Amino acid sequence: MNVRSIDANSLFHVVPDALIVVDSSDEIVAVNSVGLELFGYESHELIGRSLDVLLCPEDRELHAGLAEGYHAHPTRRPLAEGSRLRAVRSDGSVVPVAISLSPIKLDSGPGVIAAIRDQAEAMAADARLAEANRRRLATEISDRLARDLHDTVIQELFAIGMSLQSVLGFIDQPLALSRVSGAIDGLDSTIRTVREVIYGRRTTAEDRTPVASIVDVIARATPALGSVPRVQLDPDIDMVSPELIDQVCAVVNEGLSNVARHANAIDVDVAVITTDGRLEVTIVDDGIGLPNTLERSSGLSNLRERAVERGGGLEFTPPPGGGLRLRWWVPLG
């Protein structure tokens, strides 16, 4: 096919994707108007130049190997919307793109026509959707925790408060009356604090409660799991140091990532509790058990080392009914 006939073809310039034609040596022989606009070049600035000019420098060696393989076995390859390839504009800015390839016959020999689609807007939309899903899942997990606490701890606090209120009229001593009234106010404040701990109503990441930070990690991991984990979080962890909470978040993230990759599980339980002077993280799934590669995981090895440095540990055991239990613990204080 004659290059001039390609460039003169009206369809070449009205399709919504950038089109670039290269010969067997990856020299650019034609670019449509969408391609010129996308990459910020005039036609004469690209024609005759290597395709490398549009590639990130760190990707050029990889592209050379792929191009050699494609030219040896040219086939039509459809647009891969999920791919995250990178191209470089004339001003040096990087744009994520999806590319489809089709072999074409040029007068000079075999060539390739590449359809290139700007993925920046699609990636931004994906990010917005992922953030919306994360917020929805975090709210769902927080609501579950709040319901559990309402049915147990908060109801018990309410009952204690009502019992104290019922005896106020029988107290004659002003000092005792003042102390009981103060205790009732303290219970009301504790109930409000527990609710805020669960919902993490803080404005910035630095101000978020430990519970909210852990819920956020679980929410981010949930899409890969396929179902929302059951969560048990001890309200007392709100008093744990930020450094230790960071490690807890790392354990939860790594543990859930391994469940998503290896376990083939349906149900997952996550618990972060304080007991007997230590902080424990437990992740239990009903999957296939302990994969051979899991114990050698670099991420889990790092978590084990951090726990051991603090006098704790990391262990895997099979729970009743099958699956895997990850247990990580460190002393408090």
CATH number where 15 lies? 3.30.450.20
Mean pLDDT for 17-23 is: 90
Q: What angle do CA 23, 24, 30 make, to 5 degrees?
A: 10
Q: State the CATH number of the domain containing residue 180.
A: 3.30.565.10
Indicate if 277 and 164 belong to the same structural domain: yes
Instruction: Give the span between the Cα atoms of 265 and 287, in whole angstroms.
Output: 4
Indicate if 16 and 111 belong to the same structural domain: yes
pLDDT digits (tens, 9 = 90+) for 79-122: 555 456 788 999 999 988 888 888 888 888 888 888 888 888 88
pLDDT at 202 over 80: no
Look at residue 187 in the predicted model and tell me its pLDDT.
82
Indicate if 114 and 167 belong to the same structural domain: no
Indicate if 68 and 176 belong to the same structural domain: no
Nearest by Cα to 235 from 328, 160, 154: 154
Indicate if 74 and 135 belong to the same structural domain: no
pLDDT digits (tens, 9 = 90+) for 275-319: 888 999 999 999 888 776 655 566 778 888 889 989 999 999 988
Mean pLDDT for 26-53 is: 91
Query: Buried (b) or exposed (e) across 26-41, using 16+ Cβ within 10 A?
Result: bebbbbbebbbebbeb
Which of 33-42, 210-219, 225-234 tops mean pLDDT?
33-42
pLDDT at 3 over 80: no
Bridge partners, residue 98, by sequence? 117
pLDDT digits (tens, 9 = 90+) for 131-165: 777 777 777 777 777 666 666 676 778 778 878 87
Mean pLDDT for 166-188 is: 84
Indicate if 251 and 143 belong to the same structural domain: yes
Residue 37's pLDDT band, with cuts at 50, 70 and 90, is very high
- Full-model pTM: 0.50
Instruction: Give the span between the Cα atoms of 275 and 239, in whole angstroms.
Output: 13
More confident residue, 142 or 256: 256
Backbone angles phi, psi at 240, to 5 degrees: -75, 150
Look at residue 312 in the predicted model and tell me its pLDDT.
94
Number of domains in the chain: 2
More confident residue, 217 or 63: 217
Look at residue 149 in the predicted model and tell me its pLDDT.
66
pLDDT at 203 over 50: no
Which burial class, exposed, middle or buried, applies to 157 when counting CB atoms under 10 A from its CB (0-12, 13-18, 19+)?
Answer: middle
| DSSP assignment of 190-245 | HHHHHHHHHHT--SSTTT--HHHHHHHHHHHHHHHHSSPPEEEE-GGGGGS-HHHH
Tokens of 142: 């927080």
> What is the domain range of residue 33?
3-118
Indicate if 176 and 316 belong to the same structural domain: yes
Look at residue 205 in the predicted model and tell me its pLDDT.
47
Tokens of 189: 């404040």
Percentage of the residues of the chain whose pLDDT score is greater than 70: 85
Look at residue 206 in the predicted model and tell me its pLDDT.
47
Look at residue 273 in the predicted model and tell me its pLDDT.
92
Please say which residue of 118, 135, 152 terminates a domain.
118
Please say which residue of 118, 144, 174 terminates a domain.
118
